[in-house]
Chain A
Amino acid sequence: MDVESNSPKPIQTTAEVSSAKPTTTTTGTTVANLKSQHKKAELKHPSNRNWLIHLHYVRREFNTCKTIIFEELLRLNGQSEYANYILALIYRSEGKMQESLDKLQVCHELEPTNANTVRQIARSLFLLGRHKLAIDAYQKAQLLNEDSDAETHYNMGMCFLFMMDLDKAKEHMNLSLQSRVTHKAFESMAQIAIARNSIQEAIGIYEKAARVFPENAEVLSNLGVLYMKAGRDDIAFSRLGSAIAFDPWNARATVAVASMLQTYDDYDQALAKYKVVMQTMPDSASVWNNVGMCFFGKRKYVAAISCLKRAYYLSPFDWKILHNLGLLHLHMQQYASAFHFLTASINLKPDQSHTFMLLAVAISHLDDVEYAKHAYEQAVRLNIQNITTDPVNLVLNYAVSLFNHKKFPESHQKLVEVYNMIENGSGVIIEEDSKEIYHRVKTALKLMEFAFPDDNDGDMITGGVPIPPPASQGTQPRKRVTTQQSVDQQAIGNLDPDLV
């Protein structure tokens, strides 16, 4: 009897067997007979161990997997498509790109119609940096596989992006999005927009992405950061807030919110946020720097110095950290240390007028008026090219330093300059304490009978008592504000490499 039923469905097999049940013992012998008959003729199926290879591969048991693959390749003279394919993937994960590519070529030869192999070849080429060839391969894969494939378009877009062909890249990303929406494609579109310096367009793309993926913390935090860069703090805050709501450990969003709070002088809240971030990234120099500046804002100088020193230890060539350390030491009246940190900062980034101004203040306290003057001149020069410091503060500081070193005529001259700036520049906003210092210096100079253009309003004169010369440190609170702004921007800019 023939029990080897070629049933299309196992159900039918079952039924037949039920009827054949009485002859159980003979069935056993029949099976044995069949086996012996087949022994000489039976050809082993070339792919009967594919499932085993696959299971070992997905369980990341690469060594066992490779042993089986080599056995299979030996048995089949290297002509097993799946074994070669998995071997290629394992080689790729081990970083042997060229070997991987070679194996994939063998696969392609064996199964020329398999689109997946072609896609993997393209992927290997992409990883090897041969973007042009990769694009060709992807196009071939598309020919083999009729249905429009989001993944393939996305990968082609990435190739074009790496080749800096932004238009083509955008086109493919669009095609990818049309067949399937993924946040990765949105992200790349936004990257393209940022590469073209159009933040508004990038914001638009992320807004779209956020509508499709309203719960994706990554998209929301990127959107928030972009709004921050565009200066729309209110929207940025709400976007970042929702990003944190969906993923409380999202470092990027948390840092952005914290630095925003810091900008608005809410140091305690900012510190609380930084504490959360510290759990996930305890060795980010930018975060330590910002924490340091929070303590500075709270006037806890020792803690601030500790944090900044940690940041400096983690990233010794970051001019902003050095700048902040310099500023902090100025506050601590450690002028020699301040001098050292500021010089280091200037060596790393010589075009910052603000650092030069702080350096000038430090040198002026170190009793070297000639060099202080040089530093002030340099600061003024740089500030004309690229305004980063409030010019009123800069010149006022200059005047105060000259006054302190008893260079009264020169000080007077600078003060007149300040006066002209205040009078002429309608948009110049002067802070209260700067104004006060300005008046104090002016009064002191008036007593020495220097003339001012606005001499007629003599209400500031405080009798015959000579006013003690204003201490330069009084000018520093103003600097602090500007510094922190620069620090905040840096925090976000710096975090990108950490988070990617």
Chain B
Amino acid sequence: MERHEMWLDAFSDTQATIYTFPNCVATADLAGDGDYRLIIADIGTGTIPSKLKVYKGTGLQSEVTLQDIPTAVAPMFIDNDSPRLPVITVGTSEYIYVYKNLRPFFRAVLPPLQINSVERDIWGQYDSEETLFELLKNLRSQIGMSALTLKSQHLLTLPQHERHSFLEAHKGTPLVRKNIVTCLSTLRKSHNEDDALACLVIGTENCEIFAKLTLSDVPVFLSTAGLFDIDYTLTCTTRSGQLLIGRRGWVSPLLSLSKPPVGVVCLDTSIIVALMDATLNCYSDKGCRVWTVPVVSPITCLYRVHLRQRNLEMVAVGLHNGHVSLYTLSGECTDTIFFNEPISALYFGQYGRECSSMICVTQGGSLHVKILKRSADFTPELKEKGAGAMAKLQIPKKTKLFVDQTMRERENSIDAFRMKLATARTLVHVLNTKQSPIQESVKLSAEVLGLGPSFVVRIGVMNIGPKSGAGSTGISDLALFFHWNDKFYDVSPPIIHVPFLVPSVEVKFQAKVESINPNGLADVIRVIVLRKKQAQPILVAMINMPPSEIVF
């Protein structure tokens, strides 16, 4: 079935050099003119600082340098003023920066954590650096590194010679335990509208979510539903692969995933999770697995695709091999978009004036924006269910030769079975009758001249003794003897005496052969080399005679 391309290429920038994650991509109507801007928090690398980039239409509108690497961005409305202008919130280590009109507006710091009383005492009462260090080290082995204050943690990591200068430099700094943002999400406050007031939900390194929930593990992905003032549900996954559901004041583990999740999409009644082992899983809100679909390559990101006009929900899956596949909620793949690099971040939502745009950032840093065609058809392809039964069994074919061989074996199975025996016997026979020139000192060559009925057989004899070099000896007392069927031929002379043979010199003899067969049929004449007074022949050669001309 031919499928039409469902996406239009709106804009792509292969030189964008963006290094980001799905959490750091969003769109928002920043100017209040209905033209949605694309907000990307670029993590930056080494020499390149982290930046907040805002794209408008087909170009970069502005850039703001960030203090630290951003964890997540979330545009939200924080006031009721008109025109409705959202702010951008950026989570970086312990701060939440809020930007309004792309200018820094304020920052909020996460509340510091409680300090261990023993640690406070140690810092208050120490007399020398050595004892301080030792005491902190002991404390660490009791409560662990992460339960200490920043100052202690830094001190403990330093080698001995740097400790003094560190203590001097930070004499006055208070003891604090800071918290780190790991994920952000927004939750609307009291109205379920696009531009309603919202508040932030923050997941931290200290295993907490800032709606006053304490978890057992560090949250990674967070998504929300409902309204803060009325009732809400938080769904979050942790680093060890637990899926948690939280409501006001309580949180409970829903299920343990077999592998850490790569992405989570929460829908009304189901949760779709992409796992590290390249599978897409759908769980019901009761925690039962509904389906599992394996994908071809490791998954890098997952994003919810919501088509409002059609009331259609899907998920987009970015893969390591550069594919972006769209799956329906029943786990059927409806479309795949191909890119030539691993996908790094995906976003689907309004961009510019187009409400169904797919924004895709690849690992190499290029940015692509695609717009969904109005005519796009998301009917899943029919699965060839009966494929297994329909497929033909590939039985290796047999040739006619195989059948012929079978027939031959059937007829001659006993011979075949005794092949080895027969071979051995033949070999013995050949050896006994000296038909093969094994270790012979004489070489024989023969040629037949003439068309018949009279032929001349010319025979060359050469001494090729074992030491056919300088020291070899000559051979004497040889004779050539002809053996023929007297119904076919008449040979004269029947015996030829060979004179003394010098090594490596060929001596030629002739014999006259008369065909006496009236039909000119051919036969074999044997030449036997004999040594005088010895019954065993030295060598036997067979001459296949040609058919003879017939004399009328």
Contact = CB atoms under 8 A, between A and B. Distances in A.
A7 B108 CA distance: 8
Given A11-B228, A303-B395, A51 B71 contact: yes
Contacts of A278: 391, 393-394
B393 A112 contact: no
A366 B173 contact: no
Interface in A224-253: 248-249
Interface stretch (A21-29, A256-264, A460-468): A21-29
Interface stretch (B354-362, B411-419, B459-467): B411-419
Interface stretch (B137-145, B326-334, B441-449, B502-510): B137-145
A13 B197 CA distance: 13
B183 interface: yes
A306 B141 contact: no
A275 interface: yes
A46 interface: yes
Contacts of B403: 302
A339 B415 CA distance: 13
Interface stretch (A52-60, A121-129, A170-178, A487-495): A52-60
Interface string A352-392: 00000000000001111000000000000000000000000
B180 interface: yes
B126 interface: no
Interface string B394-415: 1111100011001001100110
Contacts of A10: 96, 108, 199-202, 210
B300 interface: yes
B153 interface: yes
B143 A79 contact: no
Contacts of A413: none
B178 interface: yes
A335 interface: yes
Interface residues of A, number: 81
A424 interface: no
B525 interface: no
B276 A60 contact: yes
Contact of B104 (A31, A61, A274): A31
B395 A306 contact: yes
B132 interface: no
B260 interface: yes
B120 interface: no
A50 B238 CA distance: 13
Given A77-B158, A110-B145, A303-B395, A28 B105 contact: yes
A112 B202 CA distance: 28
B410 A276 contact: no
B159 interface: yes
Interface in B208-258: 210-212, 218, 220, 228, 239-240
A47 B178 CA distance: 10
Interface in A1-41: 3-11, 13-14, 17-18, 20-21, 24, 27-28, 31-32, 34-35, 40-41
Interface in A384-422: none
A11 B199 contact: yes
B144 A51 contact: no
Contact of B111 (A7, A18, A112, A248): A7
B388 A275 contact: yes
5 contacts: A21-B79, A46-B150, A59-B301, A61-B363, A79-B157
Interface of B: 21, 43, 67-69, 71, 78-79, 93-94, 96, 98, 100, 103-109, 111-112, 140-146, 150-151, 153-154, 156-159, 169-170, 172-173, 178, 180, 182-183, 189, 197, 199-202, 205, 210-212, 218, 220, 228, 239-240, 260-262, 276, 298-301, 320, 342, 363, 387-389, 391-398, 402-403, 406, 409-410, 413-414, 416-419
Q: Which 7 A-B pairs have the closest CB atoms?
A: A336-B416, A276-B388, A48-B93, A10-B200, A111-B144, A60-B298, A366-B417
